[in-house]
Amino acid sequence: MSVVSVKDLRVWYGTGRGPVRAVDGVTLEIGEGETLGLVGESGCGKSTLGRGILGLLPEGAATEGEVDYDGRNLLGLSQRDLRKLRGPDLGLIFQEPMTRLNPLLRIEDHFAETLKRHEAGIGDAEVRRRSLEVLGAMGIPPTRFRQYPHEFSGGMRQRIMIALALALRPKLLIADEPTTALDVIVEAQILGILADLKANFGTALLLITHNLGIIAESCDRVAVMYAGKIAEEGPARDVFAEPAHPYTRELLRSTISLETTALHSIPGAPPNLVDPPSGCRFHPRCPDAMRVCVELEPVEQRLESGHRVQCWLHGPERLILAQGREPLVREELAVADEA
Amino acid sequence: MQTRPEPAAETAAAPLVSVRNLKTYYSIRGSFLDRLVGREAGVVKAVDDVSLELRKGEVLGLVGESGSGKTTLGRTLLGLVPATEGSVVFEGSDIAKLSERQLREHRRRMQLVFQDPHASLNPAMTIEQSVADPLRIHGIERDKAGIRRRVAEALEHVGLAPAEQFMEKYPSDLSGGQKQRAVIARAIILNPVLLVADEPVSMLDMSVRAKILELLLDLKRDFDLTYLYITHDLATAKFFCDRIAIMYLGRIVEIGPSNAIYEDPKHPYTQALLRAIPEPDPRRVIPRDLPRGEVPDAARPPLGCSFHPRCPKAFAACGWESRDLKDLLEARWARLGAEQYEAEQALFEDLAALDEPATTATVAVRRGRDAAEVLALLESLRAEDPDEPFWLGVRRLEAAPGRVEIEFHEPRVPRLLAQGDVQVECHLHDPELVSS
């Protein structure tokens, strides 16, 4: 049973040089108690997608498509209705915990404000009990309930942010690079907390990150985003063991881990989204590119066990014209274009 | 304290930089009142008695979390931050004792590459102007054509070729990787011998990190460079570095050849760092028994070994003290519900007295309650979790009228001791302490 279902979502921003198609036809679902990892490089549209789902886009962004939540299309809701859903239904955790807590309010007041806004008539004792419960689950002792944000370390502030998001028990939580600003041991602690979340609360989690290690660690499924599109999506184990899209494969090879014995990188740089490459957007950097990849946009193909991919290597054959499968001949990339 | 002399074979290569007992302290600016009455607000020991050598042609990785002092150590090495004590001998001169004017001469020989390529180039300067800046500052080249020629050479060395295509561009026209290449071109244009690279790839996308690391390795070979690579990322350091120094709260806790450190990490902190890295392999799971808590406040470091409050292997000598008792109670109350917390908290007078580090902690019992109740609570904590390292540090636990006293074992500050090729600063490896 899916908590949220995104269908053919498009988000674009107007700029002086023309519209930037940050999210371009994305379809995905997240089930109850499921963690979907959304991975991609900077500028691929992953944060825009996360915010688009919650209706938190800046002025000037236009959207199209559907975000079905609880029988309603979130894209059609007024800001007022959306605000009511944020908190009790939809939660968001940002990367920078310091900038999201009000420095003038005690931790206690942050919780009171959040809980009272969404649960009319909740008493002070109940606020305290509920807040201490979620804070405790995040390892924040009750003795510090009356302190101010500056009295906490970065890792503790991020835990407070998560606790604040969880106090209302949202059904869908979107975490945008929640550990990027943190140290590796604290990051591991927070990933452990997020893993407990789905076990204890049944929360559906969209975890946005650029770090494939974090995806491997905490996600049931993974969606790989490139230039506004989902290149590939499927069970994390399958995608890591047998990536179907050359981009996923190359990204995995480029990742420097403790097991790395030789360096690898992807030639070229991600395209700008005002004027993306024709056909498959990855074709200028793809070692497997074929002639068809320049001419036609790939069509989503379903593989076994719910794994889907947008790449001509997987067909469909009927759409690939004669010689379409011949390797793409192109000029060598200059080193300077690469990075 | 002095580190042990290294084996003869390793001292054969003359050190390019020799750091001895280096201390870099920052004084904390206190409140207005503190300054008015001349009260010291305290110091942060950002670098606290560090000794190491950087051998010619090697890559030394300085690895630590935020607040470990790794960036301050790199900057003190370059004379960008004044040393409080100790020496940094580079090519025969002690950088720590030179005046700004004398330093300038040495700066040509030692350069810094920063983490954020977007912030380290002036957005109003063209790439040519930025890369040429060191030539102008040091007055090395005044001739316009000469400057242009040297900038073009530097750009081509870092892969920004043909150089003419980049010279007139502004930073905003370049990708992240290209900007970092320009920053590196600026660093090598004066032909330095030492490059301090402070997180040079951590702001870059995964698909271009390898390119920049490869470039740095190529430059090292072509120009005979020596690197101090400062990072929080043990994975890139493993690939990139010949030797690794692990820093925690201003001290080097472990240093040695990369393969020795990665194959057999000796310090519990190094072990924890290595186990906490999320690997891109879904079959591997990060263990849950990682160190608790976070890096403590460097202005008030723990007694004994700075890592002891988080260390799963800590024992009696590691420096247990009053603040650890408060942490123990607080961690317990975070696990319990609000009701039980309130019931237990009502036994104590203010716990703030424990904030002052002391090896004998006095816990004041709230008026009307009995010290025996507090003692019973603490004893029940010990019975519930006898393996908790904290209890190894407790020498005496007694109730007195109105208070409970806890005496801890005498804290010992660990020494950096040799263990084969590696030096490690941990009591577990100190024969004097472990055998007893």
CB contact under 8 A, B290 and A214: no
Q: Which residues of A touch B165 (CB under 8 A)?
A: 336
Contact at CB, A185 and B272, closer than 8 angstroms: yes
Q: Would the pTM count as exceeding 0.80? A: yes
Distance from A203 to chain B by nearest Cα, in Å? 21
Give the pLDDT score at B38. Answer: 67
Question: CB A136 to CB B181 under 8 A?
Answer: no
Task: Decide if A142 and B176 are in contact by the 8 Å CB cutoff.
Answer: no
- Reported as a single tens digit per residue, the pLDDT across A4-50 is 999 999 999 888 888 899 999 999 999 999 999 999 998 899 999 99
Nearest chain A residue to B160 by CA distance is A336
Q: Cβ contact (<8 Å) for A184 and B209?
A: no
Give backbone dihedrals phi and psi of A233, rounded to 5 degrees, phi first. -150, 140
Helix (H) or strand (E) holding A2: strand A2-15
Residue in B with minimal Cα distance to A261: B239
| Position A325 confidence tier, pLDDT thresholds 50, 70, 90 | confident
Inside any domain, residue B326: yes
Report the gap between the CA of B426 and the closest CA in chain A (Å): 19
B280 with A215: Cβ contact below 8 A: yes
Contact between B298 and B46 under an 8 Å Cβ cutoff? The reply is: yes
Lowest mean pLDDT among A73-77, A96-100, A327-331, B255-259: A96-100
DSSP class of A181: T
The CA distance from A3 to B17, in Å, is 59
Structure token pair of residue B409:
């074992």
Are the C-beta atoms of B202 and B176 separated by less than 8 Å? Answer: no
Of the pLDDT bands very low, low, confident and very high (cuts 50, 70, 90), residue A59 is confident
Which residues 6+ apart lie within 8 Å of B123 measured at CB? B170, B171, B172
3-state SS of chain B? CCCCCCCHHHHCCCEEEEEEEEEEEEECCCCHHHHHCCCCCCEEEEEEEEEEEEECCCEEEEECCCCCCHHHHHHHHCCCCCCCEEEEEECCEEHHHCCHHHHHHHHCCEEEECCCCCCCCCCCCCHHHHHHHHHHHCCCCCCHHHHHHHHHHHHHHCCCCCCHHHHCCCHHHCCHHHHHHHHHHHHHCCCCCEEEEECCCCCCCHHHHHHHHHHHHHHHHHHCCEEEEEECCHHHHHHHCCEEEEEECCEEEEEEEHHHHHHCCCCHHHHHHHHHCCCCCCCCCCCCCCCCCCCCCCCCCCCCCCCHHHCCCCCHHHCCCHHHHHHHHHHHHHHCCHHHHHHHHCCECCHHHHHCCCCEEEEEECCCCCHHHHHHHHHHHHHHCCCCHHHHCEEEEEEECCEEEEEECCCCCCCCEEECCEEECCHHHCHHHHCC
Q: What's the CA gap between B427 and B419, in Å, rounded?
A: 12
Cβ of B181 within 8 Å of Cβ of A339? The answer is yes
If 0-12 CB within 10 Å is exposed, 13-18 middle and 19+ buried, where does residue A191 land?
buried
Query: What does the pLDDT average to over A221-248?
Result: 96
Domain ranges of chain A: 99-167, 259-338
- Measured between beta carbons, which residues in chain A are less than 8 angstroms from residue B205? 41-42, 210, 270
Distance to chain A for B288, nearest Cα, Å: 7
Question: pLDDT truncated to tens, each residue of chain B (436 aa)?
Answer: 434 344 444 444 679 999 999 999 998 876 677 667 766 668 899 999 999 999 999 999 999 988 899 999 999 999 999 999 999 999 889 999 998 888 888 888 999 998 888 888 999 999 999 999 999 988 888 888 999 999 999 999 999 988 999 999 999 888 888 999 999 999 999 999 999 999 999 888 888 899 999 999 999 999 999 999 999 999 999 999 999 999 999 999 999 999 999 999 999 999 999 999 988 888 888 787 888 888 888 889 999 999 999 999 999 999 999 999 999 999 999 988 888 999 999 999 888 889 999 999 999 999 889 999 999 999 999 999 999 999 999 999 999 999 999 999 999 999 999 999 999 999 999 988 886 4
Q: Give pLDDT, residue B6.
A: 42
- pLDDT value of residue A195: 82
- Say if residue A230's pLDDT is above 60: yes
* CA–CA min distance B16, chain A (Å): 28
Residue A136 and residue B235: Cβ atoms within 8 Å? no
Please indicate, yes or no, if residue B169 is contained in any of the structural domains: yes
| The Cα angle at residue A51 between residues A48 and A53, in degrees rounded to 5 | 110
CA distance A142 to A130: 12
List CB contacts (< 8 A) between A144 and chain B.
Answer: 330
Please give, rounded to a whole number of angstroms, the shortest distance from the CA of B240 to a CA of chain A: 10
Q: Which residue has the tokens 């950002």?
A: B46
Domain count, chain B: 2
For residue A337 the two structure tokens come to: 């274009």
Closest CA to B153 of B185, B113, B192, B126: B185
Residue A48 contacts by C-beta under 8 Å, 6 or more apart in sequence? A11, A22, A23, A57, A61
Using CA atoms, how far apart are residues B306 and B297, in angstroms rounded to an integer? 10
Q: Measured between beta carbons, which residues in chain A are less than 8 angstroms from residue B213?
A: 256, 263
Nearest to A213 among B279, B333, B345 (CB): B279
CB pairs A-B closer than 8 Å: 178
Examine residue A316 and say whether the peptide bond preceding it is cis (omega within 30 degrees of 0).
Answer: yes
Inter-helix orientation angle B127-137/B144-157, to 10°: 110
Nearest chain A residue to B65 by CA distance is A183
Last residue of some domain: B168, B191, B214? Answer: B191
Determine the Cα–Cα distance for residues A188 and B112; give it in Å rounded to an integer. Answer: 31
**Burial of residue A76, with CB atoms counted within 10 A of its CB: 0-12 exposed, 13-18 middle, 19 or more buried:** exposed
Measure the N-to-C terminal CA separation of chain B; round to a whole number of Å: 23
Q: What is the pLDDT of residue A112?
A: 94
**Cα B125 to chain centroid, rounded:** 33
d(CA B194, CA B220): 10
Distance CA B378, CA B392 (A): 14
Instruction: Give the domain range for residue B403.
Output: 320-408
Q: Are B249 and B306 in contact (CB under 8 A)?
A: yes
Instruction: Determine the Cα–Cα distance for residues A282 and B399; give it in Å rounded to an integer.
Output: 72
Interface test with B, best of A210, A226, A256, A285 (most B CBs within 10 A): A256
Q: Tell me how far CA of residue B119 lies from CA of A339, B115, B171, in angstroms.
A: 17, 9, 10
Query: Does B140 reside within a domain?
Result: yes
User: Mutual orientation of helices A124-137 and B338-345 as an angle, nearest 10°?
Assistant: 90
CB pair distance less than 8 Å for A141 and B331: yes
Q: With CB atoms and an 8 Å threshold, state whether B286 touches A192.
A: yes
Query: Which among B207, B213, B238 has the least Cβ separation from residue A266?
Result: B207
Mean pLDDT of A141-163: 89
Q: Which two tokens stand for residue A215?
A: 């995806």
The answer to whether A336 contacts B284, with C-beta atoms less than 8 Å apart, is no
Does residue B155 form part of some domain? Answer: yes
Determine the residue of chain B that is closest to A250 in CA distance. B207
For residue A339, CA distances in Å to A42, B84, B233 come to 13, 40, 21
The ipTM (two decimal places) reads 0.88
How far, in Å, are A131, A147, A314, B353, B365 from residue A141 at the CA level?
Answer: 11, 11, 53, 17, 20
Of A128, A136, A187, the CB nearest to B335: A136
The rounded distance, in Å, linking the Cα atoms of B208 and B201 is 9
Reduce the DSSP state of residue A254 to 3 states and report it.
helix
Q: Rounded distance, CA A285 to CA B156, Å?
A: 23
Note whether A139 contacts B334, CB cutoff 8 Å.
Answer: yes
Chain B residues in contact with A135 (beta carbon < 8 A):
334
What was the pLDDT predicted at B152?
A: 95
Please indicate, yes or no, if residue B129 is contained in any of the structural domains: yes
Buried b (16+ CB within 10 A) or exposed e, B234-252: bbbbbbbbebbbbbbbbbb
DSSP state of A332: P
**Domain-embedded: residue B35:** no
Smallest Cβ distance to B279: which of A216, A250, A339? A216
- Residue B207 and residue A144: Cβ atoms within 8 Å? no
Question: What is the rounded CA–CA span in Å between residue B336 and residue B321?
Answer: 24
Name the residue in chain A with its Cα closest to that of B231.
Answer: A183
pLDDT of residue B4: 39
Q: Do A129 and B338 touch (CB under 8 A)?
A: yes
Q: Establish if B334 belongs to a structural domain.
A: yes
Contact A21, A15 (CB under 8 A): no
